[in-house]
Amino acid sequence: MKHLFSITCRFDPENPVVLPCVQSIREHHPDSPIHVVDSASEDKSYYGAVKQFGAKVEDIGNQSLTTGNIWHTYENYPDYDFYYFLHDSMLIKDGILDLMETDVTALRYFRSWNGIGWTPMEHPTGDNGFVYSETFNWANSQLLSKTTYKPEMGMRFAALFGPMIMCKRSVLDKLKAAGFDKVRPTTKRQSEAMERVWGMVLNLEGYDLSKLSLQGYCYDPGYRENHRLEKIFLGRQ
């Protein structure tokens, strides 16, 4: 199956995590194409370094972070059957090409609901809804006005951590047919809300991310037992 690694990057020269990220992909998948989609980085000095690993840099002024990367890649690289959409703060620790056997794989998920209310991570039985009323209202108005999805208030679902997803193109075909490609965040809070929004629409398409997650529930310390992928937390603003 023809596949592509597509990395969302907002470069920080003090934490140049994209370099070991690309290096780790190349180490375990020497023949796989790698694209780095820049998210309007102020410092673009890393371009040459990632190109040394055979990666292509997409300097598109992406303002929508991972969601923007997903739809840019989908629209401009239609010949691929499967996409690995990852953050620049990810490290590949082992081969993951076997994930192409599944329609959708999340890195992690968390339990959420279409409402306002966030339970701190030390309460693993809680449901983490939208943190802010403004993003709850934004998300639902976007879905109702731009897509055919009509999520019920209070519906529960597994949210998409990141939102990072590894999926077949056919999955994105379904979401585009419903108009979901028109929902684009432009602020950090909206991008955080997209973890819930992606989870909702995938749930409505029949994909339960709690059963399709590589590392499981993101507030369960046990997820660290899966050593195929590692997330580096940077505490970005």
Q: What are the 10-residue block averages of pLDDT along the chain, 237 residues in total?
A: 96 94 97 96 95 96 95 98 97 96 95 84 69 95 97 94 96 98 95 96 97 87 70 66
Which distant-in-sequence residues (6+ apart) come within 8 Å of 119 by Cβ? 126, 127, 128
Burial of 47 (0-12, 13-18, 19+ CB in 10 A): middle
The residue to which tokens 């290096």 are assigned = 23
Which is nearest to 83 in space by CA: 184, 2, 185? 2
Q: Which residue type sits at 114?
A: N
Class for domain 3-106+217-231, per CATH? alpha beta
pLDDT at 75: 98
Q: List alpha helices for 41-187, DSSP H.
A: 47-51, 65-76, 133-146, 169-177
Global model pTM greater than 0.85: yes
- Please answer whether residues 116 and 132 qualify as being in contact, where contact means their C-beta atoms are separated by less than 8 angstroms: yes
How far apart CA 207 and CA 159 sit, in angstroms, is 11
Residue intervals in the chain for CATH 3.90.550.10: 3-106+217-231
pLDDT at 198: 98
Q: Which residue type sits at 2?
A: K
- Taking residue 171's Cβ as centre, other Cβ atoms within 10 Å add up to 17
pLDDT at 218: 82
Give the pairing of strands 104-106 and 165-168: antiparallel
pLDDT at 213: 93
